[in-house]
Amino acid sequence: MDWQRLFGMLFLVLVMFLFVGCVEVEEKGEIDEIENDVSVISVENKSIVAVDNIGVVVVDKNGGDTLSKNYAQDGDTIKKVISPIQISKSEKVQEGDLIISSGEYVIKDTNFKLRGNLIVNGTGKLIVQNSDLFFEQEYSQQFRVYIRDKARLEMKDVKLHTGGKWFNFQYEDLAHVVFNNVHGEDCCIPWHGASGDSEFFISDSTVGLTLSSNVKIVAVNSSLFFELVLTNVSGVFELPQGFKKKYDLSIGTLGNELGVMEIHTINSTFTDWGSTLDKNTNVTFVNSKMTIGLNAGSDWEKSNVVVQVADLKTKTYEDYFLVYDTNRLHLVNTFVRDWYPQAFNSAHVEIVDSDLADLQSNSGNAIIVVRNSVSSLAIARENVSYQFYDSTITGDVVAHDTAQIYLYDTKVDGVIKEVGGGKVFVDGKRYVSGR
């Protein structure tokens, strides 16, 4: 093949790519290799390139040709790198909730702004490709994404934006999820939470995920932050940090009445871990780095539960024991980044001199009193009551439903908001919006 013919082939491939986005291969051949999403098919001593995305064009080399700086020789082939071409994305704004209960809803090549909840259920399926999703909220956790009742979510080449506000994806009841090259803000915004036999297939993505009750995860080439919710579990756990070529974790409850959580990873990096001790646990963490949640009132057969804790700090614990309602925790040479004590079923919890991740997952007439502590968030729902004294809340304060939040000599860096019948009091007086 002479150089003019080679140049002509390359020019033709590039022109076809620019105008139609792919090259249809009509000759019969076998796929020799796949590099950077480009399938290379050899036919009768020449290479035809099926361009699936931006990548590498591979052509046969004429031994007498001189390679330019844009080419690289690999054996008997020349590889020319095609620079990424910015595909123009359309703009779409969804005001209010988006509900997908049947059929496929496709978001492709779009900057999609959502100002409401996103709900996929039943036989609904959401497919998002080469798009940016913007979850626009006035305050943290105003809206959520719900994938449930056997619904499916598939994302490829997607960026998730929350404007720095807390936002959650919630998966339950046999949800099926596929992430391929999906990334949010930093490591963990938005956060993902799963239960009820949900399953995940994750590749080349950054994900922070809470899992419980029979959730299954397979992850490849990804950056991961997992939080394990433990119920009726006893055991000793050493959670890995950094890159692991292969890692498998299977956790069953006593008698496996709640199923088994499974994590299977290949060539992935663990940026952090977390665990919530829900009820009836006796757990030791060794040589680990994590956040820790502790639940009081999860055993609904018990009433009038009262728990007092102090000095839950961001530090390494060499040999530390803590009893929190029905949960027993032992830490050995384990670093705890944040704590999040929680309360349910009219439990009364008092927290003193502590470093808290957030207060938001409490319910059932619970009362939480916080003194001389720092929390990243305070969101109360149902008939829950929070009382903060001489503390700092670095994020938003939001009272929903009939919840009440009392702030005494407490600094709030974020938004203070009342939603529905929720009430916020500052130093004994009802909060006035905009003050």
Angle at 391 between CA 293 and CA 279, to 5 degrees: 15
> What six digits make up the tokens of 421?
């019948």
pLDDT at residue 74, rounded to an integer? 59
Count CB neighbours of 113 within 10 A. 16
How does the average pLDDT of the chain come out, rounded?
A: 84
Q: What is the pTM of this model?
A: 0.76
- 215 contacts 260 by C-beta, under 8 angstroms: no
> What six digits make up the tokens of 295?
């639940």
* Range with the poorest average pLDDT among 11-20, 375-384, 401-410: 11-20
Most confident of 16-20, 34-38, 138-142, 395-399: 395-399
- 109 contacts 131 by C-beta, under 8 angstroms: yes
pLDDT at residue 77, rounded to an integer? 56
Integer-rounded Cα radius of gyration of the chain: 26
Cis peptide before 240 (omega within 30 of 0): no
- Cβ partners under 8 Å of residue 278, min gap 6: 212, 229, 230, 231, 295, 298, 327
Question: pLDDT exceeding 90 applies to what percent of the chain?
Answer: 71
Looking at residue 188, the DSSP 8-state letter turns out to be T
Backbone angles phi, psi at 309, to 5 degrees: -135, 155
Confidence check: pLDDT of 38 > 50:
no
Higher pLDDT, 18 or 320: 320
Confidence check: pLDDT of 8 > 80:
no
Confidence check: pLDDT of 23 > 80:
no
Give the Cα separation of 351 and 293 in Å (integer): 13
Give the Cα separation of 168 and 414 in Å (integer): 18
11-24 mean pLDDT = 39
Strands 77-81, 56-60: pairing kind: antiparallel
DSSP H or E segment with residue 337: strand 327-343
Beta bridge partners of 426: 407, 429
